[in-house]
Amino acid sequence: MSAPYAAPDDFRTAVLDAGLLVASAVDGVYQLSGEFEDVLQGLQRHLGSQRVDHDAPRRWFPPVLPRAEFLRTDYVASFPDLVGSVDVFRGSDAEHKALLGDLEQGCDWTQHLEPAEIVLSSAGCHSLYATLPAQIPDEASRAEICGFVFRHESGPDPTRLQSFRMYEFVLVGTPEQALGHRDSWMPRALAVLEGLGLRPRVEVAHDPFFGRAGRMLVAGQVEAALKYEFVVDITDATGTAIASANYQQDHFGRTFSLTTGDGQPAHGACMAFGLERTTLALYAAHGLDLAAWPADVRAALGC
């Protein structure tokens, strides 16, 4: 069966023509229409309604996190090309003058800036770990989280955004609790996406979580099946991952010094949904006219 669109360019033209996205001068940076955001908010509420851990705290994160915490995630070792750092100006009046002079001359004014104490967030759950208790309770720590993340993606494919939101269900605890969390979420995630008329296939992901060294261990990761992606066909060109189910083993437990009752580094798992991508997948599956979507899908999304 062929995908709704032949190529990413066709999908991009269609969503721009329909006014769902408004392009900026930079690939991967779009404004969203009010209707698109309404659908996305409905999706967010619908995903939240699938929660099984009713006591898990729900947290909405800002798009930035402390630089020191970010470094603990090791993301910069795995995906340096996707990272976004924030620069700020802390100079004197004289330095400000020099900055304006460079700007006027068309020179590099950013040389007058310096790295801030924050960076742009690369994954929703990264903001969580430093706020968890160092001693993870026997029943595990769970959280339902949402936040904007940044990835320095490029290209005209509208499903490759530089700034997008992730909605995640996270657990930190023993290896059994973490794996149980991930593995119980996979059929639930499949069911909720299918209930919205999407037909994702579940694939073992090939990108390593951690470190350049990890990249060489890709085969090991596939073997261990640490990360599964829920992939839909929006275009004939390539599948689009709209959600992922991740088992990070003890990586964040080690780097954030989180331990379980037995004194071992805690293990972590998260079920992550990309809100913009899933919303785009819904438009691709049901058409760009929201009024013509199946009634049950619109009811589930409340729009």
Single out the residue of 189, 258, 272, 297 in contact with ligand 5GP (rule: CB under 6 A): 272
Task: Tell me the residue length of the chain.
Answer: 303
Out of ligand 5GP, Zn ion, none, which partner does residue 125 contact, by CB within 5 to 8 A per kind?
A: Zn ion
CA angle 37, 41, 43 (to 5 degrees): 115
**Ranges within 206-245 binding Zn ion (CB under 5 A):** none
**Ranges within 104-123 binding ligand 5GP (CB under 6 A):** 123
- Token pair, residue 39, equals 């659908």
Single out the residue of 151, 182, 251, 286 in contact with ligand 5GP (rule: CB under 6 A): 151
**Does 274 interact with ligand 5GP (rule: CB under 6 A)?**
yes
**Does 241 interact with ligand 5GP (rule: CB under 6 A)?**
yes
Residues 6+ apart with CB under 8 A from 85: 67, 115, 116, 119, 120
**Does 152 interact with ligand 5GP (rule: CB under 6 A)?**
no
What is the distance between the alpha carbons of residues 229 and 206, in angstroms, rounded to a whole number?
10
**Does 190 interact with ligand 5GP (rule: CB under 6 A)?**
no
Out of Zn ion, ligand 5GP, none, which partner does residue 157 contact, by CB within 5 to 8 A per kind?
A: none
Which residue is closest to ligand 5GP by CB? 274
What is the distance between the alpha carbons of residues 87 and 71, in angstroms, rounded to a whole number?
16
300 closest CA partner among 206, 194, 200: 194
Out of ligand 5GP, Zn ion, none, which partner does residue 241 contact, by CB within 5 to 8 A per kind?
A: ligand 5GP
- The CB-of-185 to ligand 5GP minimum distance in angstroms stands at 13
Neighbours of 100 (CB within 10 A): 12
First to last CA, the chain: 29
Return the number of the residue (118 or 272) whose C-beta is nearest Zn ion.
Answer: 272
- The CB-of-149 to ligand 5GP minimum distance in angstroms stands at 7
The rounded radius of gyration (Å) of the Cα atoms in the chain is 21
Pairing of strands 58-61, 141-150: parallel
Q: Do 264 and 278 contact (CB within 8 A), yes or no?
A: no
- The CB-of-174 to ligand 5GP minimum distance in angstroms stands at 23
Return the number of the residue (232 or 266) whose C-beta is nearest ligand 5GP.
Answer: 232
Out of Zn ion, ligand 5GP, none, which partner does residue 64 contact, by CB within 5 to 8 A per kind?
A: none
Return the number of the residue (281 or 300) whose C-beta is nearest ligand 5GP.
Answer: 281
Catalogue the E-assigned strands of the chain: 21-23, 30-32, 58-61, 64-66, 85-88, 114-120, 141-150, 163-173, 201-204, 227-232, 240-249, 267-274
**Does 243 interact with ligand 5GP (rule: CB under 6 A)?**
yes
**Given the rule CB under 6 A, which residues bind ligand 5GP?**
123, 151, 153, 159-161, 164, 166, 241-244, 272, 274, 276-277
